[in-house]
Amino acid sequence: MRIRRLGVIPYEQSWKAMQDFTDQRGPDTEDELWLLQHPPVFTQGQAGKAEHLLMPGDIPVVQTDRGGQVTYHGPGQWVVYLLLDLRRHQLGVRDLVDLIEQSIVALLQRHGIDAAPRRDAPGVYVGDAKIASLGLRVRRGCSYHGLAFNIDMDLEPFSRINPCGYQGLAVTTLCACSEGPVDSDAVAEELLDELLSRIERNPATDS
């Protein structure tokens, strides 16, 4: 598994790179996890409805090819893109969603925060507030796109949309939920470790 730490890059640049990687990879291509942040942007999933985009203002909107509705990306939010050969790991899409959600739940538990996924609305929630969102695409048996985990960010742009298609959905951050200081870079590495450990524990990977 190759880890790429890409810093802050425009959404469309990373999206094009994910598509190219997926189209060009072969059966022996090494899987990759990309860790990055984006400048402010709203992204609308394939099933996205225009009515959920309320007042974007000066923030650009990108119609993308992941699943789900509209969400916001911006500084202070860690994004991890999972470029995996699902056949190699014998993972279905639901398995991958569960793996991502449980990785985030376990990380939050280590920070003393109770969190849980919701079957009716993929992502991870602290109480009724969403702290991490998911959106995936599978092409040629391989996944791309991934997760967005709110660490210490300006939440105002979420008020300009119905987050993930839910009117009035509350959104929160790790810093808002934590009783102590948060080291964003350390959290990113914890998240990568959680994801890697679950992928590597998958029986198909060990065979």
> Virtual CA dihedral for 180, 126, 172, 46, nearest 10 degrees?
140
Cα(150)–Cα(174) distance, integer angstroms: 6
Q: Which residues is 132 bridged to in the sheet?
A: 124, 149
Q: For residue 49, which phi and psi values (nearest 5 degrees)?
A: -105, 135
Rounded to whole angstroms, what are the CA distances from 117 to 12, 101, 130, 133, 177? 28, 6, 9, 10, 16
Cα(106)–Cα(69) distance, integer angstroms: 25
Token pair belonging to 6: 């890409």
Cα(157)–Cα(159) distance, integer angstroms: 5
Of the residues 142, 164, 175, 177, which is catalytic?
164
Has 164 been annotated as catalytic?
A: yes
Which positions are catalytic? 164
